[in-house]
Chains A and B, each alone.
Chain A
Amino acid sequence: MRTPRLASRRLLLGAALLLPAMPARAQMDTGRAAAFIQATGEELVRVLNSAAPVDQRRAQVAAILRRAVDVEGTGRFILGRWWRQASPAEQAEYLRLFEEVLIRNLASRFGEYQGVTFALGRAQARTEDDALVTTVVQRPGSAAFNLDWRVADVNGQPRIVDLVAEGASLRLTQRSEYSAVIQRGGNQVAALLAAMRQQIAQLSR
């Protein structure tokens, strides 16, 4: 009778130790999440459709994304089990590169997003913490597609933590991609950082 008790006590202790490491998250109200996506989406569409020079638009998009996306939380989620293996310096560089790749990838597609519009679907709570806000994105000359935004409460503010395009989660797909790069680079986070640096160099050309 002693062993299970001991085991459960150890489990409790383990959970208690883990708790402070988790970011403070409250439940996300779906109405609030929908309003947040509506406002952020309108802001993004306005920049994407503006006639301003590319550099200026990129700076504007970067500002919106930094405000609206939980860059650190999402970046950590995507690095997954490799986060703990990375040194503090690697973690810091990874987060910096992750943010830059995010912004530059979107910026490199400004041309394709000319004339983009979006319509809000109904918001629905998906898990205990997150709300999933559904939208339909329409671009001239191509078929409309479903884009869902996962919104979480991060320190009292709504923040985007994932995009789901036609059923495929961007953060799950990217976690698989990054983990493959690390494993094929001899289980070294440095291999991923090198690949990301090279990608940014290519995108900024």
Chain B
Amino acid sequence: MRLPALLLAAVLSLSVTACATRPPATDREAVEEFEANNDPIEPFNRAMFAVNGAIDTVALRPAAVAYRAVVPPPLRTGIRNALGNLRAPTILLNDILQGAPERAARTAARFVINSTLGIGGLVDVAEWQFGLPGHAEDFGQTLAVWGVGEGPYLFLPVFGPSNPRDLVGTAVDAVASPWFWFGQGEVVEALRWARFGLTILDAREGVLDTLDEINRTSLDPYSTLRAGYRQRRAAEIANRGAGTPEAAFGTGIGVGPGNRAPGDPLPR
């Protein structure tokens, strides 16, 4: 996981020169809005948003459209289930770190049931037959529960909407996952790449309709995503809402932590 570190370094060096102008203290309402947006490096973020738009137009969105067209829905659901099952150890660890024994027990039971009866996680038998629905957790949320602030809003190409706390969370989740440590050789490497590729496809396909909708109806998709992401993230941290995940692993419009796409502020 060298990419997040590299991106973080790029962000930190560039952000110094790309600060948004803070309104004068006399304009109280403008200052309030500036602080509520939590986006002091907005010019930099908007530049990254444009870069992301270009990558998305030529690569990510077409790939997601093709994935939806070629792979039949039951198989896509199976892939999403299996990817979600591979995340179960990460979710379990975060359930425990957040002091939620009941949720941890549910995650552990789901992992055992789905890995065996569910044919390696392809079928969500735990929800279907045992009435045990899944939930998402990640280390960014755990940090939030521990009282760590999110830091300034960040928008990164491919990765999507984020912040320093959630970036750190993603890196910790990656390293703390058992799949990061177990196995070696060509087959394992190939499986890792397959998982990585499918994760991106699944995440992008999961937010296809929502992002199309935002781009079609919003007069400023950048701020719509920002407002939507931050509200959704707050709801996730508080464990509010119980919708089915839209992607096995996704944040906003790219790949990242979480079992659902937080950049989804609109009903679909």
Contacting pair A143 B246 (CB below 8 A): yes
User: In the bound complex, how far is the Cα of B253 from the Cα of A6, in angstroms?
Assistant: 53
For residue B228, CB closer than 8 A to chain A, the reply is: yes
A-B pairs with beta carbons under 8 A, tally: 88
Query: Is there an interface contact between B243 and A166, defined as CB atoms closer than 8 Å?
Result: yes
Q: Which residues of A contact B235 (CB under 8 A)?
A: 166-168
Residue among A81, A139, A173, A179 with the highest chain B CB neighbour number at 10 A? A173
- B236 CB → nearest A CB, Å: 7
Stretch at the interface among B29-37, B82-90, B118-126: B29-37
Verify if A48 is at the interface (C-beta below 8 Å from B): no
Please report which residues of chain B, range 179-234, place their CB below 8 angstroms from some CB of chain A when the two chains form the complex: 209, 217-220, 222-224, 226-228, 231-232, 234
- Chain B nearest Cβ from A73, distance in angstroms: 19
B219 A167 Cβ-Cβ under 8 A = no
A160 at the interface (CB under 8 A from B): no
Whether A167 and B37, one on each chain, are in contact in the complex, defined by CB atoms closer than 8 angstroms, is no
Q: Check A173/B243 contact, CB under 8 A, given A167-B235, A168-B232.
A: no
B241 at the interface (CB under 8 A from A): yes
Closest chain A residue to B261, Cβ basis? A166
A173 lies within 8 A of B228 (CB): yes
The answer to whether A60 has its CB under 8 Å from any CB of chain B is no
Bound form: Cα–Cα A107–B228 in Å: 22
On chain A, the residues within 8 Å of B226 by CB distance are 176
| Shortest beta-carbon contacts, A-B, top 8 | A167-B235, A168-B265, A180-B223, A143-B244, A176-B227, A168-B231, A81-B29, A173-B227
